[in-house]
Amino acid sequence: MRKVIYSHMVSVDGFIETDESYQGPNWATTDQELLIHFKEIESLCDIHLYGRRVFQAVSTWWPIADKDPNAPDYVVEYSKIWKDKLKYVFSTTLDHADWNTKVIKENAPDVVKELKSQEGKDMFLYGGTLASSLMQFNLIDEFRLYYNPVFIGNGTPMIPSMEGVFRLKLVETKVFGCGVVLLRYSNQKLLQT
């Protein structure tokens, strides 16, 4: 059975976006090493699951990044991977999305349960509100949290709301040259409080 992997850039104080109009993680630290890492782990998944706000932010850049004549090869390669990857955007307000994307208005946990039961590679999940809704049904198998060396003070928490306690097991750490630290956890189980 395929896994759902919640993957996100996170500030040291636990936020994934600022309170300002969402423009993507403009506070996030990235460099060649980190972007090559993201490109390499794309081979683990065949579907991206997005909340609307995150999708709208990333879709302003990745669809056109390969058209920039000054873009390095690894950015061009990731842009092509991103466009080809099957994407599901969970939104009650978005009506249409391009770049191999399906807009899903139905109950996210039911759709994700069905996708998990199908054959295929793992699925990467992006978006705090979407992650919260899936955590309540214990549908997230792994967390790949990329902690950035920055405090942003306020915004959307990595997990905006949840009930109970999730026990996690640390399975990998990695420090990137730009100061970003990957903490990768597996979900042990949901303990109701």
| Chain mean pLDDT for the chain | 90
Q: What is the pTM of this model?
A: 0.91
Which residue ranges make up each domain of the chain?
4-191
Q: What is the pLDDT of residue 186?
A: 95
Q: What is the pLDDT of residue 150?
A: 93
Q: What is the pLDDT of residue 193?
A: 42
Average pLDDT of the segment spanning 52-71: 89
Helices 32-41 and 73-84: crossing angle in degrees, nearest 10, is 30
What digits encode the pLDDT tens for the residues 62-85? 888 899 999 889 889 988 999 999
Give the separation between CA 186 and CA 170, rounded to whole angstroms.
7
Average pLDDT of the segment spanning 7-28: 78
Q: What is the pLDDT of residue 174?
A: 97
Q: What is the pLDDT of residue 6?
A: 97
Give the separation between CA 88 and CA 130, rounded to whole angstroms.
12
CATH for 4-191 (3.20.20.70, 3.40.190.10, 3.40.430.10, 3.40.718.10) = 3.40.430.10
Q: Is the pLDDT of residue 22 over 70?
A: no
Give the separation between CA 85 and CA 72, rounded to whole angstroms.
20
Q: Model confidence at 190, in pLDDT bands (50, 70, 90)? A: low
Give the separation between CA 174 and CA 159, rounded to whole angstroms.
22
What digits encode the pLDDT tens for the residues 88-129? 999 999 988 989 999 999 899 999 999 999 999 999 999 999
Name which of 27-31, 55-59, 119-123 the model is least confident about. 27-31
Nearest 5 degrees, angle CA 5-CA 158-CA 148? Answer: 90
Q: Is the pLDDT of residue 23 over 70?
A: no
Q: Percent of the chain scored above 70 by pLDDT?
A: 94
**Residues 109/160, Cβ–Cβ less than 8 Å:** no
Alpha-carbon torsion angle 89, 93, 99, 102, nearest 10? 50
Q: Which residue has the higher pLDDT, 66 or 25?
A: 66
Nearest 5 degrees, angle CA 107-CA 113-CA 116? Answer: 140
